[in-house]
Amino acid sequence: MTIKIEKIKEEKKINKLTFMIKGSDEVFANTIRRMILEEVPVLAIEDIEVKANSSALYDEMLALRLGLVPIKTDLSSYRLPKNQDEIDEKSAQCTLQIKLKASKKGYVYAEEAESTDPKCTFVYPKMPVGKLLAKQKLDLVMTAVMGKGRDHAKWIPGWAFYRNEQKLKIGKVKDAGLLLSKCTDGVFKKDGLGLTVVEDKAAESNLLEYYAELDSGLTVEYTDNIIFTLESWGQLSCKQLLEASADILAEKAKELEAQL
């Protein structure tokens, strides 16, 4: 079986990638999806030492917020902990220390935190952690640990989903004006008195069946090709997520083969 991958659209500013898988099936696509969501390791805050917190947020709420703030992860420098001792001893191979001190009135942002590794900081600098009033302060020492999404949602590095490719065919359209008025994703454009399909917009659209219901002159057909969409929360790029998931899948296949 030969599998081909064709990139449809990459939006680096929002960490989103859409591509087409040819020569495979839903089982393979779902396996890759699960590797990304459950197996690719990233850093996330696991332990917080609260030295001072006079803000309106309880310590537990503050810890919950910080635990869900994505952290840039360098897979070449960090790995999953082998045991609890490595976490307790704060091994540099699987843990990261981040400090946050703030005493200025106003919002406290993620960019104010100081990481011991400049490559691994909070992904979104302007993500608000909390808000301080006059004379209030925060003093936190955080420990981020490498983990997997199957253990906790804070280690999920992004979102992935797929569907079969749809082909929209235009026949004798009864009401082109109605379709244009209902089209919110740019799939159609006016061509004289009729309509034409904008193919790249149609490839991303989730409304093709809806348009076909509006006018009997439209039909939707499904192919065996799979359109896969990946959105990264920012810990890793979309390319890194795919490469890591492929490596993990290959390793699992080797382990299974060894047991046969």
pLDDT in tens, 249-259: 999 999 888 88
Averaged pLDDT of the chain: 93
Answer whether 49's CB lies under 8 Å from 100's CB. Answer: no
Which amino acid appears at position 195 of this protein? L
Residue 3: how many other CB atoms lie within 10 Å: 10
Using alpha carbons, list the distances in angstroms from residue 91 to 48, 117, 154, 230: 16, 13, 20, 32
Phi and psi, residue 33, nearest 5°: -60, -45
Report the C-alpha gap between 142 and 81 in whole angstroms. 17
Nearest to 11 by CA among 249, 230, 175, 226: 230
Answer whether 223's CB lies under 8 Å from 167's CB. Answer: yes
The structural domains of the chain, ordered by start, are: 4-38+158-230 (3.30.1360.10), 43-150 (2.170.120.12)
Instruction: Please report how many Cα atoms fall inside a 13 Å half-sphere around the Cα of residue 254, on the Cβ side.
Output: 6
The whole-number pLDDT of residue 198 equals: 86
Q: Which residues contact 51 (CB under 8 A, 6 or more apart)?
A: 139, 140, 141
Tell me: the pLDDT tens digits for 179-193?
Answer: 889 999 989 988 776
What's the average model confidence in pLDDT over 86-96?
A: 95
The whole-number pLDDT of residue 191 equals: 79
Which amino acid appears at position 61 of this protein? M
* 1, pLDDT greater than 70: no
Q: Is the dihedral of CA 34, 35, 39, 40 positive or negative?
A: negative
- If DSSP codes are grouped into helix, strand and coil, which group holds residue 125? coil
Kindly state the DSSP code that residue 248 receives in the 8-state scheme: H
Q: What is 31-52 written as a DSSP string?
A: HHHHIIIIIS-EEEEEEEEEEE
The whole-number pLDDT of residue 172 equals: 87
Answer whether 144's CB lies under 8 Å from 96's CB. Answer: yes
Residue 213: how many other CB atoms lie within 10 Å: 11
Residue showing tokens 């917009």: 201
Q: Parallel, antiparallel, or unpaired for β 4-11 and 16-22?
A: antiparallel
pTM of the model: 0.86
The whole-number pLDDT of residue 99 equals: 97
